[in-house]
Structures are given as C-alpha cells and as structure tokens.
Amino acid sequence: MKSGIRKSIIDAFYLMLDKKVSMQQIRNLKGKIKTALKQKNKNYFKEIKAILVVLDKEIKSKQSLTTISIDEGTKQRLKSILYPKKQSKKKALGGFEVPGTIEQQQSENQKTKIVKSTNIRNKVFNIIKFTGDFKPVIGNPSNPFVFMIYGSPGSGKSSFSLMLSKYLSKHHNFSVLYWATEEGISYTIQEKLERFNAYDDNLYIADEKPNNFSNYDVFVIDSITHANITFEEIQYIEKTNPKLSIIFVLHATKDGKYRGFTTWEHWADTVLRAEKGTIYTQKNRFGANGEMKIY
C-alpha cells in the first residue's frame, strides 16, 4: 500500500475533527484503515493505529451523529503530516506570528492566492461553452467544475450522466473516466452505451475506483451512494488533482431529497435533479436555470 493512501486516511480523519459526522462515515473510514493496516508498508503506521482507536471509541458510543475531538498535540502532529512545509516566522507585537520580511509576506500571500482585483481583470479562465440541449441546464462552466446529479430510481440520472460524459468526451475532447459503481463492466452498461450511441475513444468505464487520475480530465461517479465513498475522500481526490473536474450521482429519498449531507450540495458548482426523464437545474453558479428532456 502506498503511503499516499494512508495519508489520504489521515486527511479524511483530520477533516472530520470537531464536526458532526455520521456513524456510517466513521465505519467507512475504519474499513479503509483495517485494509491499510494489512499492508507491509510501515509509513504512518502509528498514526493510523491511533486513529483506529479513536474511531472504535466513537463506534462504541452508538450515537447516530457524533463530534470527534482529540488532544491538541495529536491534532498538530496530523496537521504537520498533511502540511509539512511551513514558512519560518517570528513573533510580532501582541504575540501574533508574521513573516519576518516583506518578501516572506509576499510569499505567504502567493500561497493563499491573494491577488489585486485589477489583476483578475486580465486573467484568462478556461470556459467550456456548452451547446444544444445541455446549455439550458448547465450554461458555460469554468474548468475544472463539480456537478451533482440526483434522483430516484428510473428518474434518468444515470442516463443523463452517461449522455453528459459522451458529450464532454466527443465535443470537448475531454478524457472522461466513468466509474460505474452499480453496473460495472456489464451488459446493462453496454446497453446504455448502445442506446445513447456513447462509444468514444475518450470515454473510459471503470468498475473500481482508480488510484491515479493523471490521464483524465473528468471523473464521473455513478453513484456516490452505491460506492460508499466519503465526502472527505472525494475532497482528497479534488485536492490532489487540481485540474480534474468531478461529476457525481446521488440517490434520492422517498420525499425527493438527495441522500447525504448538505455538504455535497454546497461543494458542487451545479446541482441537477432528475425526475421522470427530465433534468432540472436546482443550483448553478454559472447562471443557467432550465430543464432538459431525456426521454
């Protein structure tokens, strides 16, 4: 097991700290830890074991929602693993830590992406101009983007995600990785590819989550609900692949709401709802607010 996987576990745990998390999220992370500990690699072994002890304690509490807290020393140790390089600083008046020189201050500002508003005027962003039926529901997003699609069984959410994958691969020459968590490499996925004429050399189908996304422009997860993957894991993929766009599918509850925490919706640039073969724009940072008929 590569140390990067164990580091992603530490990152997922760190993002859980001092926040309300579900017992399912805790159990999912524990399962990944147990798999990681079976490997011979000893990188971050002690830290992973310590995290496991904390998770076991929370599981024994049998609370549906809980807040994980650890001592400050352990928290700082985990933070130093995730963010090892720190700018040397010295104390200023009042005890605040600030860079010792103007050059250090400029360096810190560059790291946190602080720029003059006038510099943004001439900055060129990578805008994807959608056309046809997709434009009313998506508009012209900037790349990379995050799309969320949700709906009940048979509503058209998977069909739309595959149609969108084909559109991006064929019309925008994006390399798209479609993770079919529910169907895998099967007859049913073949039937959908046939039905929507979605075969394309830039569209790849996976039955398991890959560890390397460097060859892809877009990662589609159909579905998050079935993949049993946490929000923290998806955030880690985004953080370690800053040029990767992500499209994910969620199942809907009986009352029509998506399954999962509101963090999914807040994170997404665009939220699309599938209902009886039609896609409706529920949220869109790029302005579009329409609908698209699938069948």
Place of tokens 């993929």: 237
Q: From 136, 84, 85, 80, select the one nearest 107 (Cα to Cα).
A: 85
Enumerate the domain spans of the chain: 3-82, 132-293
| Fold topology of 132-293 | Rossmann fold (3.40.50)
Question: Which band of pLDDT confidence, cut at 50, 70 and 90, is reported for residue 96?
Answer: very low
The mean pLDDT of 163-186, rounded to a whole number, is: 93
Q: Which of 15-19, 40-44, 79-83 has the lowest mean pLDDT?
A: 40-44
pLDDT of residue 93: 41
Q: From 273, 265, 270, select the one nearest 294 (Cα to Cα).
A: 273
Any residues with CB less than 8 A from the CB of 193 and at least 6 apart, and which?
162, 199
Strand 245-251 to strand 218-222: parallel, antiparallel, or no bridges (unpaired)?
parallel
Any residues with CB less than 8 A from the CB of 147 and at least 6 apart, and which?
138, 164, 245, 246, 247, 248, 268, 269, 270, 271, 272
Sign of the Cα pseudo-torsion (131, 136, 138, 139, in order) = positive
Residue pLDDT, tens place only, 129-145: 999 999 999 999 999 99
The mean pLDDT of 111-124, rounded to a whole number, is: 80
Residue pLDDT, tens place only, 187-202: 989 998 999 899 999 9
Q: Which residues of 213-227 are buried (b: 16+ CB within 10 A; e: fewer)?
A: beebbbbbbbbbbeb
d(CA 216, CA 207): 16
Answer yes or no: pTM beyond 0.85: no
pLDDT at 1 over 50: no
Angle between helices 72-82 and 45-61 (to 10 degrees): 130
Q: Which of 66-75, 101-110, 187-196 has the lowest mean pLDDT?
A: 101-110
Q: Considering just the CA atoms, what is the radius of gyration of the chain in Å?
A: 22
